[in-house]
Amino acid sequence: MGRSEVTVLRLEQLEAQNVARGLKARAYAAGFSLAGIVRLGPADSARVYDEWLARGMHGSMGYLSRGAAKRHDSRLPFPGAVTALVVAMEYGGREASGPVARYARGDDYHDIMVNRLRELQDWLGRRVGASVAGKAYVDTGPILERDLARRAGLGWAGKNTCLINPDIGSFTFLGSLMVALELPPDAPFEADRCGTCTRCLDACPTGALPAPRTLDATRCISYLTIELKGEIPERMRELIGDKMYGCDICQEVCPWNVSFARELTEPAFAPREAVGGKNARTLARELLEMTQEEFSAAFRKSPMKRAKLRGLKRNAAVVLGNIGTPDDVEMLTHAVDDAEPLVREHAAWARERISSSRPAGRR
């Protein structure tokens, strides 16, 4: 069946309500922390998104502008879909802070969540007695996920731009299952519970949150250490501190997370051996010495593969430039001869930074 031939299934009102309740119950049973249903249509935040793109705050993430038209209307990514199940899955907001953002320490959430959403789609088909056309999306399609999640009742967009739920905070992944099946929607989340708090804006070390709910990705540590494929601007390197991959600062300081973030319960998101329990300096040194073969083995099924080894070595050099000691100069000298120009440039910067620094109080 082609997309142009998708048949929208309609049930009797009572049956549709029962199916919706059953679908959300199955979502919770599958390990999702939140689940809600939304009717697809024009995105409430499309205008704000377009303005954000026009200001160039997406940096080098060109894919965000290429899919802008489809993001305006959630019916467009999968033609024929009229309803979406929107889910959130926690990834351990109570985990200790570290050089790698909490979301990236275990297995890739994309695969885990998509597979479970597809299982829910199969369950829908068995429940209604007919094949239900649809598609699962987890942070990969042209969709304004937070817009859908708010309309599905899962929470509100916080001043740090993350979706915040009043019961569990914001350390969650978002996903959606768009289906050609009409189901009754849940009530949207209408409240804004950030109040006058500006802790996330005040805590950001790079000033990536210039205003409430406005993220300048070009200054965001997550962008600089993951999405940016070239050189990290020198003016930003010192501000990155010991962050190797991603950043959780704007979430860590949020009162909703301080009070309500929960322990990690999904085994797939538990820190892998390559990053678990390691401080920034140790991890940086290991990455700088890592071969491509070792990297592929250590980070198999990891979201950290997105930055590739060259990007992680770049980040490692910056971290050593910020927190390293004279004992790291020799390693950085070796990295200056790396095959990758990107690694060589950042290693040279880090070596010079360490070599030119003097211990406090020494003249």
Which residues carry out catalysis? 139
- Crossing angle for the helix pair 308-323 and 341-356, nearest 10 degrees? 10
Distance, in Å, from the CA atom of 170 to the CA atom of 252, rounded to the nearest integer, reads 10
Q: What amino acid occupies position 287?
A: L
The H or E element containing residue 35 is strand 34-39
Distance, in Å, from the CA atom of 37 to the CA atom of 20, rounded to the nearest integer, reads 8
Show Cβ contacts of residue 56 under 8 Å, excluding neighbours closer than 6 positions.
218
Task: Say if CB 255 and CB 197 are below 8 A apart.
Answer: yes
Rounded to 5°, the CA angle 4-79-60 comes to: 130
Task: Say if CB 40 and CB 75 are below 8 A apart.
Answer: yes
Q: Can you list the alpha helix ranges (DSSP code H) found in the chain?
A: 13-29, 46-54, 63-66, 68-71, 109-128, 145-151, 199-203, 221-222, 234-240, 249-252, 255-260, 280-289, 292-298, 308-323, 329-335, 341-356
> b/e map of 322-354 (b: 16 or more CB within 10 Å)?
bbbeeebeebbeebbebebebbbbbbbbbbebb
Give me the count of residues in the chain: 363
Provide the token pair at 79.
């033609």
Provide the token pair at 144.
């304004």
Q: Which of 250, 268, 309, 313 is nearest to 111 (CA)?
A: 268
